[in-house]
Amino acid sequence: MTWDYYDIKKEEMLTNENKEALDKITERVKTAFEGIDHDALLSAFAPHGRTKYKDKQELVNHLTKVAIERIKKIGSKNWDGD
């Protein structure tokens, strides 16, 4: 079994209340990233000027996903402090 399997199982074990809270947090994180100027985001996350993101929305979606993954890992055995 892979870690993905365990992450999926943990996701299935969340209560509806937990899922709703996570959805709200996801929206707030996404809104926060959307409120930042695109050039400022790129200068922080791709200071070399090269990026694999075709537009701001793709970058925002990626940053939101990474942030939520880290939030989910806090308190779990998978969290290594990063």
Nearest to 35 by CA among 15, 10, 63, 5: 63
> pLDDT tens digits for 34-43?
999 988 888 8
- Tens of pLDDT, residues 6-45: 454 566 667 788 788 889 999 999 999 999 998 888 888 7
Q: Which amino acid is at 34?
A: E
Angle between helices 56-73 and 38-45 (to 10 degrees): 60
Residue 79 · residue 73 · CB < 8 Å = yes
In this structure, of 2-6, 20-24, 55-59, the range with the lowest mean pLDDT score is 2-6
For the segment 51-57, the average pLDDT, to the nearest whole number, is: 86
Helix, strand, coil fractions of the chain, as percent rounded to 5 = 70, 0, 30
Higher pLDDT, 73 or 77: 73
Nearest of 29, 80, 37, 75 to residue 56 by alpha carbon:
37
